[in-house]
Amino acid sequence: MDGSEAVMARIAELVPGGGRALDIAPCAVSGNNRVFRVTAADGASYIAKSYYHHPSDTRDRLHAEWSFLSYAAGLGIACVPRPLSRAAESHLALYEFVAGEKVPPGAVTAADVAAAADFLGALNPADRAARAAALPVASEGCFSIADHLASVDGRIARLGRLAEESAVHAAAIRFADVLAADWTRRRAEMLARAAAAGHDAAVPIATADRCLSPSDFGFHNALRRADGTLAFIDFEYAGWDDPAKTLGDFFSQPAVPVDRAHRGRFLDALLGIVSDARALEFRAALLEPAFALKWCCIMLNEFLPEAAARRRFADPASDTAARQAAQLAKAERAFELIQRLW
């Protein structure tokens, strides 16, 4: 189902309580899915999502987000939307509408970081292994140092296959070569440091040291409500993961950067939910440059055919060339910061 009229007709059927959808309007988004604001005849508002799906993209985005939000609802967590109804065969779901404004870059406060850390803590009670046994592994979930390194290896390799379709593609290829060389050096250093500290890179962390992660977690996926509190949204990548990756991604995502001065507060929340805090501290410090480099690769996703297809699905009117140029510039700036920090 990819015709707009058919999608909207199916969304109307998802309005709870037999209500009638009065208006269904597309929302401007920059992600992978189509999002709609639904207004019912009784005045109630909802958010509907039409999830991207393709044979080459095996992740069930609807299931990941729906199951994660259902789990959060079961814990009584109120800072996320409630899942209301879905049509799995049509890749559609209806959620609570959360009124709020996007958090702009430069506006993140210490209280905001504390709210994000508290959210992670609430997602991870001591009995999470039993409560959330059926939840999927997060997108690119990693449970060993070797897994983390392999994740970056894969992204570097994909960028190494870019075709020189335009001048901006040629620039991206040159930059990808720089990334690859830097990664080769850092990868060897990380393995050496892990071995010297007595950590076997191939050994997975214990279940008690894993967490339920929103994945793609940061203030780019948050809304500030009128009372100043935050609501967190977009969990299509959520699931089980290494807390070190949750931390690394949180401080590496480029859309709404988080000052590293807040790293200690965020790490403390994660240390409080695992059984081996010292091992988590080691992985978090060791792998931080790997996560930052991975995000440089993610910023170049616009040059990959499969990622470009998702963007066209979410926003058919978007300017691909402009997005590519902007993302390349962001990746180059992020890489310069990596060189200064590590």
Q: Select from 96, 130, 159 the last residue of a domain.
A: 96
For tokens 């859309």, the residue is 255
Question: What whole-number distance in Å separates Cα of residue 281 and Cα of residue 300?
Answer: 29
Instruction: Inform me whether the pLDDT recorded for 2 exceeds 60.
Output: no
Confidence of residue 104 (pLDDT cuts 50, 70, 90): very high
- Residues 123 and 148 grouped into a single domain: yes
CB 190 within 8 A of CB 148: no
Instruction: Inform me whether the pLDDT recorded for 54 exceeds 90.
Output: no
- Residues 314 and 201 grouped into a single domain: yes
> For the chain, what is the domain count?
2
- Residues 38 and 135 grouped into a single domain: no
- Residues 159 and 222 grouped into a single domain: yes
Q: Which two tokens stand for residue 76?
A: 């009584």
Summarised one tens digit per residue, pLDDT across range 279-310 is 999 999 999 999 999 999 999 999 998 777 77
- pLDDT higher for 143 or 305? 143
Amino acid 19: pLDDT: 65
- Residues 203 and 55 grouped into a single domain: no
Question: What whole-number distance in Å separates Cα of residue 55 and Cα of residue 51?
Answer: 13
CATH number for the domain harbouring residue 59 = 3.30.200.20
Confidence of residue 148 (pLDDT cuts 50, 70, 90): very high
Distance of CA 61 to the CA centre of its chain: 12
- Residues 190 and 296 grouped into a single domain: yes
Question: What whole-number distance in Å separates Cα of residue 230 and Cα of residue 42?
Answer: 27
Amino acid 9: pLDDT: 86
Q: Select from 96, 120, 143 the last residue of a domain.
A: 96
Amino acid 41: pLDDT: 86
Task: Please compute the mean of the pLDDT values over residues 153-177 and round it to a whole number.
Answer: 96
- Residues 253 and 222 grouped into a single domain: yes
Give the CA distances from residue 297 to residues 6, 133, 162, 233, 267, in Å, rounded to whole numbers and listed in that order. Answer: 36, 31, 12, 23, 24
Amino acid 291: pLDDT: 98
Amino acid 1: pLDDT: 40
- Residues 72 and 116 grouped into a single domain: no
- Tell me the pairing of strands 45-50 and 101-102: unpaired
Q: Select from 73, 96, 119 the last residue of a domain.
A: 96
Task: Please compute the mean of the pLDDT values over residues 231-260 and round it to a whole number.
Answer: 97
Question: What whole-number distance in Å separates Cα of residue 292 and Cα of residue 253?
Answer: 8
Amino acid 235: pLDDT: 97
Task: Please compute the mean of the pLDDT values over residues 65-84 and round it to a whole number.
Answer: 98
- Residues 159 and 48 grouped into a single domain: no
CB 65 within 8 A of CB 238: yes
Q: Single out the residue of 29, 38, 31 nearest to residue 10, CA to CA.
A: 38
The residues facing 92 across adjacent strands are 50, 87
Instruction: Inform me whether the pLDDT recorded for 319 exceeds 90.
Output: no
Amino acid 327: pLDDT: 96
- pLDDT higher for 311 or 243? 243
Amino acid 116: pLDDT: 98
Q: Single out the residue of 28, 29, 12 nearest to residue 20, CA to CA.
A: 12
Amino acid 34: pLDDT: 93
> What percentage of the chain carries pLDDT values higher than 70?
98
- Residues 218 and 315 grouped into a single domain: yes
- Residues 271 and 135 grouped into a single domain: yes
Instruction: Inform me whether the pLDDT recorded for 18 exceeds 70.
Output: no
3-state DSSP helix/strand/coil percent for the chain, to nearest 5? 50, 15, 35
CATH number for the domain harbouring residue 331 = 3.90.1200
Question: What whole-number distance in Å separates Cα of residue 287 and Cα of residue 318?
Answer: 34
Question: Which amino acid, one-letter code, is at 238?
Answer: A
Range of the domain at 293: 101-341
Q: Single out the residue of 287, 199, 195 nearest to residue 241, CA to CA.
A: 287
Q: Which two tokens stand for residue 314?
A: 């979410």
